[in-house]
Structure 1
Amino acid sequence: MSTLLLFLPPRTRLRALGRAAPAAADLTRAGAPREYDWALTPDGRQVSSEGRSLAAGLPAADSVIALVAESDISWRCVDLPRAGRQMRAALAGKLEELVLDDPELLHFALEPDAVGGDTAWVAITSRAWLAEHLAHLDAAHVFVDRVAPLSWPDELPRGHFFEANGPGEDGVALRWSHSDGVATLPLQGGLARQFFPPGLVHAAQWTATPGIATTAERWLGTTVSVQTPAQRALAVIDNAWNLRQFDLAPRARGVRALRLVSRALMRKPWQPARYGLAALLVVQLIGLNLWAWHQNRELAARRTAITATLTGAFPQVRAILDAPVQMQKQLDLLRASAGSVGEQDLEALLGAAATAWPSDRPPAEALAFEPGRLTVSAQGWSQPQVDNFRTQLQSDGWRLDASEGKLTVSRASAQGGR
């Protein structure tokens, strides 16, 4: 399943004297349409292509994950209130003294699987800024399935070196994430290095962008893995963090809702369930085929037995087309040649009708016969007479059909087989 990793542009920052300091890349595009850096991966393991495009020009993918820079997220570890659907309002009240901005201007997101009463991490970012990007992408028909941070608090400590302002050690910073939170540390001076004793250095995972890998290794005193921003972003695919919560949760309807469900089922946590469902379908398919094969064998054995009975009893029959019909025909011929009356003959039908004939009815003035069926007129018959006639016939194994002013007598077994 292909995934589009979309890097949201960092928010502008204030420098001294209260002047906004937009990123250098933004200065060259003042007033230009908004563009996004992106990376496309077909399998979540390798980056197949990357680039920078307008929202309308972004490549299509099965899933879209928007990535928020570490500088745009702050983290707080709190005891979650048991507030249910009012969790967002309860968080605003609980974090009011811990944040600088008005809580109503901020967006909160809980760590995966956290519920009221747990001690959990809360990611905090600007609500208006994130909502604006999501609305802009939705307007371009780029539906963001998940908003994820590039780093998050985790039991496994990780450090990533990147260019901060310019070349040289003064332009290198360290993004440090561990179980106690996420921080950005400048490498100037020796204070930051004192935070990393040898044991921690060897236990953590270290990465760096290609341009400053040598500087990072010299500062750290050990080797680091080189990763481009796109390669580093692949880690969020298997991570469950999602900032689309509360009022920024996706509102999907119809086909889009089905697409979101199917994408969720295709993710790695559902892989055992997918394998189990596929195995179940294969077993069911094999079972149905074996059952059908067994039924066909039984049916073929019965047909062979009937054919053997026909050819054994009537050797003169050479071509077997419909064994039961041919056997009945041969039995009727034998009975006729012996002068005996069969159930399909007129005499048998007349005898059955005479036995069950109502005593208050005169003899029939006319009748019609065809093999196995005797028909008389129902004119002048009352409903109790018809019911009595039917009851008497049924007791002897015959059947009476009354329709269109006619009464038809036939053998019950023969009529049921039609």
Structure 2
Amino acid sequence: MSYLVIQLPARERLRPGATAAARTAGEYAYVTSADGRSVAAHGRCAPALLPKADTVVAVVADTDVGWHRPTLPKAPPSKLRAALVGVLEDALLDEPDAMHFALAPDAAAGQPTWVAVVHKGWLAAHLAALEQAGVVVERVVPSSWPGDEPQGHFWLPAGADADAPPMLTWSDAQGVATLRLAGGLARALQPQWQRESTRWSATPAAAAAAEQWLGQPVRVVSDDERALQAARSLWNLRQFDLAPRHRGTRALRALARQLLGPAWRPVRVGLAALAVVHVVGLNLWAWQQREAIAERRQAMVELLRSTHPQVRSVLDAPLQMQRETALLRASAGRAGDADLEALLGAAAAAWPEDQGPAPSLRYESGRLSFGAAGWSAPHVEAFGQRLRAGGWRVEAADGRVTVSRPADAAGGRS
């Protein structure tokens, strides 16, 4: 499954009169991956030129996400956002209607939970611009999020000089904070951050300054690698008003991506194995049936040759057996089921008691017909029922009744 991770540019603080949509124009940095862990390709291009992928994830910069930890109100889903506004209203720096809220993956009603807060108009404008270009973002994730494992990442803002002091994003169980190293706050908090369990990382441009500030080496992580790491998180900021609305082909595409995901791999393997076993079983059964049919045909050929040694070329064993048996019967002076004697005997046995002899008879090719102009419909029906019980065929039309032996019955008795 292929992945496309789009790095949303950091939100610029608007000048008076500017609009959020104006900032979405331009290019997006992106990363592609075949497994979601290693970088396959990266670059920057306009939304319409972004590569196609099975899964599309957008990553929000650290400076664009605020973090709060209230007790999640017990409210129905349709009223949960309004309940969150009532809980967080005093802690927000902007109007609640202008903010977008997203709950942590493990949020439970009545329990403390992390809530990510993003500028709603800015994020909605980016999603709309990408969707207009045919890029449907399934998930939006933060670059950093609160977690039990303390982490510190050093990076340089876009457009900053190489010798400019880097920024530090710190995340632990207490939340996420982004500070400038040039200020005194970062230096004051440094002692409590330097723990043995802390994982330090830095972008290539900020690595030297970070090691000098820490006094220890740091792991170098590129922006592309960090974006892939963020895309693997369980967070999804597309909630409430910005939740994706799958309809029609989007719903089918989402279902297909879900079925092709890692969680469904055992099911896919099991279905594939079942299909292979089924195909192999069908082929084995078909082979056995072909062998059984071939054995029966060979048995019929052997029976024909043993019964009628004079037959040298066997083309249709049942038909040839019928013909040879009919010749033997004729040469022995015995009547067959379709001969005149058998037809007369059958007709005489079923003849109506109140009817006289037939005025005329005709025999041809195993069919006996006679005139029955004086017969009523009950006479014809009773005559036919008696003969059909013995395996004969009776037809009545134009004042004549025809008696014959069905082809399969005649062949089986010949």
Asked whether the two chains share a fold, i.e. TM above 0.5, the reply is yes
- Residue 101 (structure 1) aligns with: 94
Aligned alpha-carbon RMSD (Å): 3.6
Q: Structure 1 residues 396, 198: CA separation in 2 closer, same or farther (over 3 Å shift)?
A: same
Which string of whole-angstrom CA distances, capped at 9 and with x for unpartnered residues, describes residues 95-125 of structure 1? 4444343433332333346565665433322
Q: What is the 5 A alignment of 1:95-174?
A: 95-112=88-105, 114=107, 120-164=113-157, 166=160, 171-174=165-168
Q: C-alpha distance in 1, partners of 2:401/2:261?
A: 70
Q: C-alpha distance in 1, partners of 2:377/2:77?
A: 71
Q: Does 1:194 align with 2:196?
A: no
Q: What is the 5 A alignment of 1:270-289?
A: 270-289=264-283
Q: Does 1:184 align with 2:178?
A: yes
Of 23, 36, 41 in structure 2, the residue corresponding to residue 44 of structure 1 is 36
- Residue 318 (structure 1) aligns with: 312
Q: C-alpha distance in 2, partners of 1:380/1:97?
A: 111
Of 339, 350, 356 in structure 1, the residue corresponding to residue 350 of structure 2 is 356
Q: C-alpha distance in 2, partners of 1:304/1:344?
A: 29
Q: C-alpha distance in 1, partners of 2:163/2:393?
A: 105
Question: Which stretch shifts more, 329-338 or 240-249?
Answer: 240-249
Tell me the number of residue pairs that the alignment of Structure 1 and Structure 2 aligns: 404
- Residue 6 (structure 2) aligns with: 6
Query: Residue 258 of structure 2 aligns to a residue in which SS?
Result: helix
Structure 2 unaligned spans of 5+: none
CA shift, 1:378, in A, is 8.5
CA shift, 1:87, in A, is 3.7
- 8 Å CA contact 1:369–1:375 kept in 2: the answer is yes
TM-score norm. by structure 2 comes to 0.82
Q: Structure 1 residues 408, 263: CA separation in 2 closer, same or farther (over 3 Å shift)?
A: farther
- Residue 337 (structure 2) aligns with: 343
Which string of whole-angstrom CA distances, capped at 9 and with x for unpartnered residues, describes residues 294-325 of structure 1? 22222222222222222222222222322222
- Residue 54 (structure 1) aligns with: 46
Q: Structure 1 residues 40, 399: CA separation in 2 closer, same or farther (over 3 Å shift)?
A: same
Q: Structure 1 residues 417, 219: CA separation in 2 closer, same or farther (over 3 Å shift)?
A: farther
Amino acid at match of 1:47: V
- 8 Å CA contact 2:3–2:56 kept in 1: the answer is yes
Structure 1 unaligned spans of 5+: none
Q: C-alpha distance in 2, partners of 1:384/1:118?
A: 91
CA shift, 1:360, in A, is 5.4
CA shift, 1:242, in A, is 2.4
Q: Structure 1 residues 118, 57: CA separation in 2 closer, same or farther (over 3 Å shift)?
A: same
Q: Structure 1 residues 254, 405: CA separation in 2 closer, same or farther (over 3 Å shift)?
A: farther
Query: Residue 13 of structure 1 aligns to a residue in which SS?
Result: coil
Of 243, 246, 265 in structure 2, the residue corresponding to residue 249 of structure 1 is 243
Q: What is the 5 A alignment of 1:349-388?
A: 349-359=343-353, 371=365, 373-374=367-368, 384-388=378-382
Q: Structure 1 residues 229, 307: CA separation in 2 closer, same or farther (over 3 Å shift)?
A: same
Which string of whole-angstrom CA distances, capped at 9 and with x for unpartnered residues, describes residues 237-257 of structure 1? 433332223332323333333
CA shift, 1:383, in A, is 5.4
Q: Does 1:223 align with 2:212?
A: no
Q: Which has the larger radius of gyration?
A: 2
Question: Which stretch shifts more, 34-43 or 93-102?
Answer: 93-102
